[in-house]
Amino acid sequence: MGLRIPAHLRDLATSIGAQSWVAGRNFGRDRYFAYVDKLKLDLAAFCAPDDIGPELLVPILARVVDAEDVFIGHVLKTTVEIKDPETWLRMCEAVAYSILQRYHRELENGKWVP
Amino acid sequence: MTKGERVLVPAESLDVAVERLLTEAAAEGKRWSLIPGRVRTTVPSKPAIEDMLSDRLRRALEHEVVALNPSVGGGDISQRDVNEEVVKKALVALRLSTLKSLANERGVAVAGKAEEIAERIGRAYQWDPNEVARLILEHEEEPSPDRGHVTRLFPLAGTPDIERVYARLRQTAGHYIRIGVARWFVFNRVLNESADSVRVEGSHRWYRATVDDYAGLPRLTPVPSEDTASAWIRRTDSLIQIDGASSGAAKACAAAIQTGGDLQGRGYVPLAGMVNDDLEAHSAFMVDLLVNRFRMAGFEEMDLTVTKFKVGEEVGWDDEGQAENRPALRSVRFEGRHLLDSKVACELLTVGRPLVDMSLSVRVRSDDKHRVARFPIRVAIENNHVLVATGYGSGDPELSLKAHRAALGAVKQEVETGVADSARLEAYAGRIVERAGAESDAAVATMLLLEEEADEGSQPIPVLVPDFIVAEANEAEGLAVPMQKPEFDLAGDAFDELSSRELEAVTALLRVGKVKGAAAMFGVQVAGYRMILRSVMRKLEQREEGNVEIEALLTDLRRFDLQ
């Protein structure tokens, strides 16, 4: 079964178009997917590969998204306002979940090979 | 490493790993942004989220490994850990449904066990103990003794001869009397502050006896306990009022005062009796409080949130004096909102099950009408006394005390003089029977509304859109034909998919005209209120086709800023 975006981020993910950004050309699929593979190797020092869940990967991917300053341009085109740090954090988390969702899907259907 | 295995990792190593992973992630993101073709958008006011991400990653890692924290100064737990765990401990004491509602309002995940939700809420509030304390008080549905005013009323056989009582009790000051096996009550002070009352301050002391085996020698070890109590005996009241004490201390204090002051306690709570052959005497006591006395006390927007019914007798005994071992249900407790409107609660009332404990949320205004706050109030009928407890609510201690005094006055009158308005209570008993016989729960809670409002409630509830919305809409759209004030039938079939909470939310918004004010009226935080309204709009949008009423309501809801 594919990865689901947690309920508390789902509405936000929809309103900022997180999944459509991840599906778009400006996303940088190969770089992000290769980075997820690398993170899994790094995190293997702390837990078994099967235990590396989105809770571990999302904060790190969210940091990449935050530092890259590309996704924020997409958010500014929507009507959703970045009111405070909590909102921006949740936006980055929502897009990080969307990245992992696509990663898992493509891993399952063989479109991405680590 | 196998799946599920948690390795031992020194906490310092975890900190280093978190720092490294996030620093590398930031560097990677910055590097990618420089790749030709990437469209980078620099926003100077972009909020900094590094610390929050670091916190999240550390906690996620702590969940996977066993973090070995160094003890501080040879054995102490770090103050940060203590603070965070205390915040969590306070939150998990709330009901799971309340925790989930808090999480929802704060926009954090509601899934998982109580501890997980409490952790998310604590983190969302930056582990601020004061903020969390305020939050807990605001959302407590049932007042607890350590977070509110607690008074117990022990009925007497008659009003006391206050001079005689004082003359006797003042001799007990500085003395103690035995009230049971290894139980004593110590009279610390007996005061006659006014001509009409006597105040007793004292402590209940008791011992548990444990048997230890100390180096092969059996030894009896007394374990002492102590609890204080403060009591009032008033010339005009046929009861003893005990403030702030635990059940055990209050019972001990009442017994000691009755013995010392030669007062005759009833030993039971006087009840007026059955009403209409429908309401059992305990239930009549409680329902009369709800529909008559609390209203007379000035409580508004009462919402019954917890009810406890006795449904069976105490454990039975067979002919040989052995306790029967058949399973028996002795009480049933309901939690929710507007429980007097619930079919199942009404059914229990009409089949004569005693309603012995209830908690409700009430709205109270200050005397100058400028301040309004909600408080949880609990009334419980015990064997020989009635408990009245009022929570501190949303941080207005003066109003909380006012609410407690009003509730106490109402319960005192109920104990001393019985039903306030028999005709009205009988009418409500009829409505309870009606609700018990209904096919399903009502869509909108009406039971605790005033009769005139309730009559409207049994009919469709008209909701008028405030004038200023109509005016603003006309002005904004420059309509040639001014928009008419629509009237919605929220109890109609068109709205049957909305829950009573959602209907209430829409009603509040349309009545008040501002999201913030409506959220306050509805008793939730703005974020949570917006979520409810968005859910209403989604449901309505699915049913919009061709329904004029829904279309009109949606048009008006869209005028409010629900983002």
> pLDDT tens digits, residue range B279-327?
888 998 999 999 889 988 888 888 888 888 887 655 455 555 555 555 5
Q: Are A88 and A82 spatial neighbours (Cβ–Cβ below 8 Å)? A: yes
Average pLDDT (B539-556) is: 74
Does residue B77 belong to the interface with chain A, where contact is any CB pair within 8 Å? no
CB atoms near residue B14 (< 10 Å): 19
Residue of A nearest to B19 (CA): A60
Give residue B481's pLDDT.
47
Q: Are B177 and B259 spatial neighbours (Cβ–Cβ below 8 Å)? A: yes
Q: In terms of Cα–Cα distance, which of B239, B245, B269 is closest to B257? A: B239
Which residue of A66, A84, A88 to mutate against B (max B Cβ within 10 Å)?
A66
Binning pLDDT at 50, 70 and 90, where does residue A31 land?
A: very high
Residues of A whose CB is below 8 A from B53: 59-60, 62-63, 66, 89, 92
Residue A85 Cα, gap to closest chain B Cα (Å): 5
How far is the C-alpha of B522 from the C-alpha of B500, rounded, in Å?
Answer: 12
Q: In this prediction, what percent of chain B has a pLDDT beyond 70? A: 80
Residues of B whose CB is below 8 A from A6: 109, 111
Q: Are B160 and B254 spatial neighbours (Cβ–Cβ below 8 Å)? A: no
Backbone angles phi, psi at A63, to 5 degrees: -65, -40
Tens of pLDDT, residue by residue over A40-96, are 999 998 988 888 999 999 999 999 999 999 999 999 888 888 888 888 999 999 999
How far is the C-alpha of B423 from the C-alpha of B431, rounded, in Å?
Answer: 13
Q: In this prediction, what percent of chain B has a pLDDT beyond 90? A: 23
CB atoms near residue A113 (< 10 Å): 8
Window from B68-77, B97-106, B143-152, B500-509 with minimum mean pLDDT: B68-77
Q: Are A22 and A102 spatial neighbours (Cβ–Cβ below 8 Å)? A: yes
Does residue A40 belong to the interface with chain B, where contact is any CB pair within 8 Å? no
Give residue B30's pLDDT.
94
At B476 the three-state DSSP class reads: helix
Average pLDDT (B412-417) is: 90
State in Å, rounded, how far the first CA of chain B is from the last one.
46
Pairing status of strand B217-234 against strand B197-214 = antiparallel
Which residue of B1, B58, B530 to mutate against A (max A Cβ within 10 Å)?
B1
Residues of B whose CB is below 8 A from A84: 47
Provide Rg for chain A, Cα atoms: 14
Question: Alpha carbon of B200 to those of B163, B232, B236, B243, B405: distances in Å?
Answer: 14, 6, 17, 11, 19
Does residue B3 belong to the interface with chain A, where contact is any CB pair within 8 Å? yes
Q: In terms of Cα–Cα distance, which of B174, B402, B399, B420 is closest to B286? A: B420
Tens of pLDDT, residue by residue over B343-365, are 888 888 888 888 999 999 888 88
Give the angle subtended at the CA of A95 by the CAs of B528 and B26, to the nearest 5°. Answer: 120
User: Which residue has better confidence, B259 or B342?
Assistant: B259
Binning pLDDT at 50, 70 and 90, where does residue B461 land?
A: very low
Q: In terms of Cα–Cα distance, which of B176, B170, B174 is closest to B191? A: B170
Q: Are B371 and B394 spatial neighbours (Cβ–Cβ below 8 Å)? A: no
Give residue B217's pLDDT.
74
Chain CA centroid to CA A32, Å: 9
User: Which residue has better confidence, B47 or B455?
Assistant: B47
Average pLDDT (B70-77) is: 67
Q: In terms of Cα–Cα distance, which of A33, A52, A53 is closest to A43? A: A52
Binning pLDDT at 50, 70 and 90, where does residue B490 land?
A: low
Give residue B512's pLDDT.
64
How far is the C-alpha of B328 from the C-alpha of B264, rounded, in Å?
Answer: 35
How far is the C-alpha of A77 from the C-alpha of B304, rounded, in Å?
Answer: 46
Average pLDDT (B18-32) is: 95
**Predicted confidence (pLDDT) at residue B452 exceeds the cutoff of 70:** no
Contact pairs from chain A to chain B, CB under 8 Å: 142
CB interface of B with A, residues 478-537, below 8 Å:
534
Q: In terms of Cα–Cα distance, which of B522, B519, B510 is closest to B552? A: B510
Residue A30 Cα, gap to closest chain B Cα (Å): 12
Residue of A nearest to B53 (CA): A59
At B26 the three-state DSSP class reads: helix
**Predicted confidence (pLDDT) at residue B436 exceeds the cutoff of 80:** yes
Residue of A nearest to B104 (CA): A8
* Interface contact flag, B46 A61, Cβ < 8 Å: no
* Interface contact flag, A67 B33, Cβ < 8 Å: yes
Does residue B323 belong to the interface with chain A, where contact is any CB pair within 8 Å? no
State in Å, rounded, how far the first CA of chain A is from the last one.
19
Looking at the DSSP bridge assignments, the partners of residue B199 are B191, B232
* Interface contact flag, B41 A55, Cβ < 8 Å: no
* Interface contact flag, A62 B49, Cβ < 8 Å: yes
Tens of pLDDT, residue by residue over B360-403, are 988 888 887 777 888 899 999 998 999 999 988 766 788 889 99
Q: Most confidently modeled of A84-88, B25-29, B522-526?
A: B25-29
Question: Alpha carbon of B419 to those of B84, B272, B403: distances in Å?
Answer: 49, 7, 21
**Predicted confidence (pLDDT) at residue B39 exceeds the cutoff of 70:** yes
Exposure string over B420-437, b if 16+ CB within 10 A, otherwise e: beeeebeebbebbbebbe
* Interface contact flag, B53 A35, Cβ < 8 Å: no
Residues of A whose CB is below 8 A from B124: 86
User: Which residue has better confidence, B88 or B322?
Assistant: B88
Exposure string over B108-117, b if 16+ CB within 10 A, otherwise e: bebeeebebb
Q: What is the mean pLDDT of chain B?
A: 80
Window from A6-15, A46-55, B17-26, B143-152 with minimum mean pLDDT: B143-152
Residues of B whose CB is below 8 A from A61: 25
* Interface contact flag, A51 B7, Cβ < 8 Å: no
Residues of A whose CB is below 8 A from B563: 79-81
Binning pLDDT at 50, 70 and 90, where does residue B72 land?
A: low
Residues of B whose CB is below 8 A from A96: none
Give residue B331's pLDDT.
66
* Interface contact flag, A47 B60, Cβ < 8 Å: no
Q: Most confidently modeled of A2-6, A7-11, B152-156?
A: B152-156
* Interface contact flag, A60 B22, Cβ < 8 Å: yes
User: Which residue has better confidence, B424 or A109?
Assistant: A109
Backbone angles phi, psi at B529, to 5 degrees: -65, -40
* Interface contact flag, B33 A50, Cβ < 8 Å: no
Query: Could you tell me the two tokens for B315?
Result: 């454990």
How far is the C-alpha of B439 from the C-alpha of B445, rounded, in Å?
Answer: 15
Q: Are B414 and B285 spatial neighbours (Cβ–Cβ below 8 Å)? A: yes
Nearest CB to A8; choose among B9, B57, B108 = B108
Exposure string over B229-256, b if 16+ CB within 10 A, otherwise e: bbbbbbeebbbbbbbebeeebbbbbbbb
Q: For B235-383, list the strands marked E by DSSP.
A: 239-243, 300-310, 331-335, 355-365, 372-381
Tens of pLDDT, residue by residue over B168-213, are 999 999 999 888 888 899 999 999 878 899 999 999 998 887 777 7
Q: What is the mean pLDDT of chain A?
A: 91
